[in-house]
Each structure stands twice: as structure tokens, then as C-alpha cells.
Structure 1
Amino acid sequence: MYAWYYPKTITALVATATHDWQNAVVWINNPDLESPKIMGLSTSKKSETDHTKPHITRETFKSDVTYDKRTKDFDQFLDGTSFKLASTLILGPIFLRPMTEKKGEFQDLVMWSQLPDVARAALNSTEIGNVPFSDANFQKKLAEAWPF
């Protein structure tokens, strides 16, 4: 799971919320392999917007799904063994979408166990929002993101 923190959420050019987290789960066939095969991608959704639908309509906002999920047709969004994700501003809030073919920067992967104890304690608190990879949320978020 990769996660991004947004200190403020802006809707219609007005700051409406603080401590927003977005995340993406890259599903691989075997983490023990040096070069595992990517099997799918799930990206969290802000509010109830379903970006897998071709057009945004009133029905788009009635989805009870909390992740956009792909298990095929994503080769154009890969750069070698990495997904190309972009933050997109749609009608105000920021959304993560795997819908970019543009090359970008690589971000370092920091494992939970690599974080200092004080950082893990802060992220496990509820003072900075609903952290998707906290001890309380990680398994639940993986279950919600499961695309198979």
C-alpha cells in the first residue's frame, strides 16, 4: 500500500476538511520473488465518486465502493514494474487515479517497520485523520481494496 497525505481538502475553492488520506494498493502474485508480476491496482476514492464509469453523472455519486479496482487493461499505466499514478482535481477534491500515461517521478517506498517508534505512534493516533496503513486500519483497507 502506498499512501498520500493532504493536510487540507478544497472543494469549490473553499477549504472544507483537513487530514485527508488517499492510498493505492498494488497487488502482486508473490512478494518473495525478485520481480513479481503485477496482478492489479486499487486506488482509494474521495467521497463516493466512481471514476471507473466513463462519464460523471448523478449515479456516479451513489456508489458504495470505496476503491476503484483494476485487474486487467492497465499495461499503458505501467513504467516497468511501477504504476503511474496521478493526483487529479475533479470538482474540487483531490482524487488518486491510475489513469495517466505520463512519466513522472518515482517515490521512495518506506516500510512501516522502518519508521521510528514515535512516527508509528503518531500515525496510529486519530489526530491526523484516518491513516489507511495504521495498525487499526491496514487489514480493513486491504479487504476493501481486494479486486479479485
Structure 2
Amino acid sequence: MMYAWYFPKGFWGASASSRHDWANFVVWIDNPAIENPQILGVSFSKSEDTYEFQTKIYETAFMGYRALYGSAILDFSILDGEYQDLIMWEQMTDEVRAALVDSNFDDFEVPFNEDKTTSTPTWKKRGRFEQHACCCNII
């Protein structure tokens, strides 16, 4: 399962460095076909080409983003924060899906869409869990 955040500006330190920024978080599970799948691990973006991987996740941990020297980064926290609505790919209108596929986000790639599967190079760099990619869903 993938969760993604879009930021209309990317920052490096306190300076605007790009027009767009995407961050994403992938939960790797053993089998989506069963009622209670086990989490194998998670990977989440730390920069446009860098991912952090973790196999031990505390039940009380929350994934979210925070500002660090002006940059938005993904990280775990034990503090509960503000919740955001979950919108699945299938719930988006055709126009929104087309915009995510066809729009130019400069050097930043939309981390999900119909053209991306767990076998693409983009997915492979997201973690050492790719051997389980057949058991993962993109939402």
C-alpha cells in the first residue's frame, strides 16, 4: 500500500528549491488476500532518490510529515497529529487521474499511477522488500 503527499513547493533548508515535491510511504505486507496480513516492513522517501527502510514498527507509531529547517520530511512519531482523508486511485475522477499522469512536475515523478507497478525501477529502489512485490497493492 502506498500513501503519498504532494507539496506545491520543495525546500532545501529555508530556501525554495523546486516548484513541486512528492513524498511517499510504502507498507509492504505478506498477503493482501488474507483477512489479517502481516507487515513485512515499510519504506519511505527521505529525498527524491533516497528511501529509508524499517522492518520493526511500533504499534503506537504514526507516519507523517514535519518541517525540518523549512523542508517537509516523512518520519515516524509517537505523537498523534492531524489526520488527512485517504483518497484511493479508483475514487479520483478521470480528470484528476489524467492530470496526475500527464502533468509536468519538473524533476519530480508522481509516485503512483496506473503505469507504475511493483516491477518498475521506481518501485525497486523503494526497498529491499521487492521480493514480496507480488503481494503488495498500490492505493
Within 5 A, what are the aligned runs for 1:5-24?
Answer: 5-24=6-25
Counting matched residue pairs gives 124
Moved more, 9-18 or 24-33: 9-18
1:103 is matched with: 80
Moved more, 137-146 or 35-44: 137-146
Structure 1 spans left out of the alignment, 5+ residues: 49-65
1:135 is matched with: 114
Q: CA deviation at 1:146?
A: 2.8
Q: CA deviation at 1:70?
A: 0.8
Please report the TM-score for the alignment, with normalisation by the length of structure 2. Answer: 0.75
Which consecutive segments of 4 or more residues in structure 1 shift more than 4 A? none
1:38 is matched with: 39
Q: Distance in 2 between matches of 1:119 and 1:34?
A: 31
3-state SS of 2:9 partner: strand
Q: 1:27 to 1:107 in 2, by over 3 A?
A: farther
* Highest RCO, 1 vs 2 (Cα 8 Å, sep ≥ 6): 2
1:60 is matched with: none
Please report the TM-score for the alignment, with normalisation by the length of structure 1. Answer: 0.71
Identity percentage of aligned residues:
39
The residue type equivalent to 1:142 in the other structure is W
Q: 1:39 to 1:5 in 2, by over 3 A?
A: same
1:112 matches 2:96: no
3-state SS of 1:85 partner: strand
Q: 1:45 to 1:136 in 2, by over 3 A?
A: farther
